[in-house]
């Protein structure tokens, strides 16, 4: 089962869990599984249309990917905010 | 004890106070996020905050205790397959029917809740008008920011959109018609005025004692309607500028409106380096500057669209506004005298009285 690594504030919304194991054939499905297990994360990673938000980064085994990337059972996903700033 | 809900670029500030002392910051919530708008439904006491994270997007939060936990509402969100995602929630307004609230969002759409704000549904007929009419955004985006219910008549509603004018429903949102007549888009070439729908409404409020009357701050002028928003009369003469964003009314007096002009479209600061609220008590025939206690010099403030709130009425009307400088000013005597109630918050996006 793929492992998803979360950082604040997503970690806090997922009950304080830094690592969660979630089923899903692609990134969108894995995030939907996260939302199902931890409803407070709903809408934080994916927008209304199920796309990874512009300023959120999802890394699959170290490579930045989008919502339709295929996820295997031994994969690791990192979800974190992008490094943007100014205001 | 008065409670102000001040949305800022750096979270929500709940201010409490009375008398002449500065208000205290009773609560700060949503640190690190922009709170675009916050309000309290007077029927239920429930608080709402429109919260936008620069990373994780917009969401509507609600609570019965602003110092406690907040819950995320189910929506507003656009249906999957619509190829549209929510950018921002501009306003939340209680409706007339029990449990009904409205939310205006960007890109411009109206959402309705029938369960006290916990879940939200897109108004499809207005959305179809938006798609068919190819509505164009203003500088601040394509925003549905003003929602004006009709007291006692739940099916009647007027909304203001930047930049797609006034839309009116009399059947609970099943159908909509425009209220364009009289609005002059001077920001466009004159030969483009006729028939355009690029009408940049900045703010709109209804006079509850005479609901057919509405006041509007437009992009470059101020207007009054006496026929429920169908037609509009320019009432900006006497103001230092027709440009500005905030507007409010005195619920006890249908002839009253209050605006905070900015110098111009290209110079969005208080005119003449002075901070003044302008009031009309004769439906826009004349305007009076209200400035006692407000900065009288070297003051180039910007007051945003939702950053003027009110409570009470008549001589006891409370007027409360914040600037992007982080100051919040208030008057408890209908603008006769003013004071600074919070000197150094983050840039203020909205002010409402709880």
Tell me the domain boundaries of chain B.
Answer: 27-300
Under-50 pLDDT residues of chain B = none
Contact B119/A at CB under 8 A: no
In three-state secondary structure terms, B116 is coil
Contact B56/A at CB under 8 A: yes
Chain A neighbors of B9, CB-CB under 8 A: 87
Residue of chain A whose alpha carbon sits nearest to that of B54: A55
pLDDT at A87: 55
Whether B59 sits inside 8 A of A43 (CB atoms) is yes
Q: Which residues pair with A3 in a beta bridge?
A: A21, A76
Residues of A in CB contact (< 8 Å) with B are 9, 40, 42-45, 47-51, 53, 55-56, 81-82, 84, 87
How far is CA B163 from each of CA B32, B138, B168, B246, rounded to the nearest angstrom? Answer: 29, 5, 15, 16
Which residues, at least 6 apart from B159, have a Cβ–Cβ distance to it below 8 Å? B104, B110, B126, B144, B146, B147, B148, B166, B167, B168, B204
CB B270 within 8 A of CB B297: no
pLDDT at A4: 97
DSSP string, B89-113: EEEEEE-SSTT-EEEEEETTEEEEE
* Mutant choice from B8, B35, B54, B81 vs A, greatest count of A C-beta within 10 A: B54
Chain A neighbors of B86, CB-CB under 8 A: 47-48
Question: If you count residue pairs, one on A and one on B, with CB atoms under 8 Å apart, how many are there?
Answer: 47
* Mutant choice from B59, B79, B84, B85 vs A, greatest count of A C-beta within 10 A: B85
DSSP string, chain A: --EEEE-TTHHHHTTT-SEEE---SBHHHHHHHHHHHSGGGTTTSB-TTSPBPTTEEEEETTEEE-TT-B--TT-EEEEEE-S----
Whether A45 sits inside 8 A of B56 (CB atoms) is yes
pLDDT at B93: 98
Q: Count the neighbouring beta carbons within 10 Å of the beta carbon of residue B67.
A: 10
Which residues, at least 6 apart from A12, have a Cβ–Cβ distance to it below 8 Å? none
In this complex, the residue of A48, A51, A87 whose CB is nearest that of residue B77 is A48
Q: How far apart are CA A43 and CA A34, in angstroms?
A: 11
Residue carrying the six token digits 């809408």: A43
Under-70 pLDDT residues of chain A = 84-87
Q: How far apart are CA B114 and CA B102, in angstroms?
A: 9
Q: How far apart are CA B8 and CA B32, in angstroms?
A: 10
pLDDT at B58: 97
Q: Nearest C-alpha of chain B: how many angstroms from A30?
A: 17
In three-state secondary structure terms, B298 is coil
Letter string b/e over residues B326-335, b meaning 16 or more CB atoms within 10 A of that residue's CB: bbbbbbbebb
Please name which of B104, B93, B89 lies closest in space to residue B53, comparing C-alpha atoms.
Answer: B89
DSSP B274: -
Structural domains present in chain A: 3-81 (3.10.20.30)
In this complex, the residue of B9, B54, B57 whose CB is nearest that of residue A43 is B57
In this complex, the residue of A42, A44, A48 whose CB is nearest that of residue B86 is A48
DSSP string, B132-201: HHT---BTTBSEEEEEEEETTEEEEEEEEEETTEEEEESSTTSS-EE--BT---TTS-GGG-TT-----E
Which residues, at least 6 apart from B76, have a Cβ–Cβ distance to it below 8 Å? B60, B86, B89, B103, B105, B109, B111, B120, B122
Contact B86/A at CB under 8 A: yes
Q: How far is CA B302 from the centre of its chain?
A: 15
The string of pLDDT tens digits covering residues A57-72 is 999 999 999 999 999 9
Q: How far apart are CA B219 and CA B337, in angstroms?
A: 28
Question: Residue A35 corresponds to which tokens in the numbers above?
Answer: 């939302």
Q: What is the mean pLDDT of chain A?
A: 94
Quote the ipTM score.
0.85
Whether B54 sits inside 8 A of A53 (CB atoms) is no
Contact B84/A at CB under 8 A: yes
Whether B78 sits inside 8 A of A84 (CB atoms) is no
The CATH-assigned architecture of domain B27-300 is 7 Propeller (2.130)
Please name which of B305, B268, B275, B273 lies closest in space to residue B289, comparing C-alpha atoms.
Answer: B275
In this complex, the residue of B55, B72, B79 whose CB is nearest that of residue A55 is B55
pLDDT at B21: 80
In this complex, the residue of A40, A48, A81 whose CB is nearest that of residue B55 is A81
* Mutant choice from B35, B55, B127 vs A, greatest count of A C-beta within 10 A: B55
Burial class (CB in 10 A: 0-12, 13-18, 19+), B303: buried
Q: Nearest C-alpha of chain B: how many angstroms from A82?
A: 7
Burial class (CB in 10 A: 0-12, 13-18, 19+), B18: exposed
Q: How far apart are CA B14 and CA B352, in angstroms?
A: 10
In three-state secondary structure terms, B346 is coil
Q: Nearest C-alpha of chain A: how many angstroms from B96?
A: 29
Residue carrying the six token digits 């603008």: B335
Edge-first strand order for the sheet with B11-17 is: B24-29, B11-17, B2-8, B348-353
Q: How far apart are CA A58 and CA B281, in angstroms?
A: 57
CB B334 within 8 A of CB B319: yes
Whether A42 sits inside 8 A of B86 (CB atoms) is no
Please name which of B224, B270, B225 lies closest in space to residue B243, comparing C-alpha atoms.
Answer: B270
């Amino acid at each position: 089962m793929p492992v998803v690594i979360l950082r604040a504030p997503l970690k806090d919304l997922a009950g304080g869990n830094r690592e969660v194991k979630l089923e899903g054939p692609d990134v969108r499905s894995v995030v939907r599984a996260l939302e199902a297990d931890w409803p407070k994360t709903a809408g934080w990673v994916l927008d209304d249309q199920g796309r990874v938000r512009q300023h959120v980064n999802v890394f699959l085994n170290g490579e930045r990917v989008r919502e339709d990337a295929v996820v295997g059972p031994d994969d690791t996903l990192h979800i974190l905010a992008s490094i943007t700033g100014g205001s | 004890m008065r409670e102000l809900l001040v949305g800022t670029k750096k979270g929500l500030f709940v201010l409490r106070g009375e008398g002449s002392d500065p208000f205290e910051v009773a609560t700060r919530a949503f640190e690190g996020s922009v709170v675009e708008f916050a309000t309290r439904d007077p029927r239920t006491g429930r608080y709402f905050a429109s919260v936008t994270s620069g990373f994780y997007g917009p969401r509507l939060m609600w609570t019965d205790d602003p110092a406690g936990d907040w819950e995320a509402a189910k929506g507003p969100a656009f249906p999957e397959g619509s190829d549209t995602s929510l950018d921002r929630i501009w306003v939340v307004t209680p409706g007339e029917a029990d449990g009904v609230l409205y939310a205006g969002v960007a890109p411009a759409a109206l959402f309705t809740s029938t369960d006290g704000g916990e879940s939200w549904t897109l108004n499809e007929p207005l959305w179809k008008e938006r798609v068919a009419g190819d509505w164009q955004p203003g500088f601040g985006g394509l925003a549905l920011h003003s929602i004006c219910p009709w007291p006692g008549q739940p099916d009647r509603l007027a909304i203001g959109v930047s930049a797609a004018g006034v839309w009116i429903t009399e059947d609970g949102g099943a159908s909509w018609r425009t209220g364009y007549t009289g609005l002059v888009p001077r920001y466009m070439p004159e030969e483009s005025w006729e028939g355009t729908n690029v009408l940049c409404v900045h703010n709109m409020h209804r006079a509850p004692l005479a609901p057919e009357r509405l006041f509007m701050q437009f992009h470059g002028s101020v207007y009054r309607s006496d026929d429920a928003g169908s037609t509009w009369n320019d009432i900006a003469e006497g103001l230092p500028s027709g440009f500005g964003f905030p507007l409010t009314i005195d619920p006890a007096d249908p002839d009253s409106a209050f605006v905070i002009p900015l110098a111009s479209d290209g110079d969005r600061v208080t005119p003449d380096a002075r901070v003044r609220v302008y009031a009309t008590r004769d439906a826009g025939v004349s305007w009076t500057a209200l400035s006692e206690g407000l900065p009288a010099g070297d003051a180039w403030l910007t007051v945003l669209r939702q950053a003027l709130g009110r409570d009470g009425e008549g001589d006891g009307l409370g007027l409360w506004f914040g600037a992007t400088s982080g100051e919040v000013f208030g008057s408890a005597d209908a603008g006769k005298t003013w004071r600074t109630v919070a000197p150094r918050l983050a840039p203020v996006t909205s002010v409402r009285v709880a």
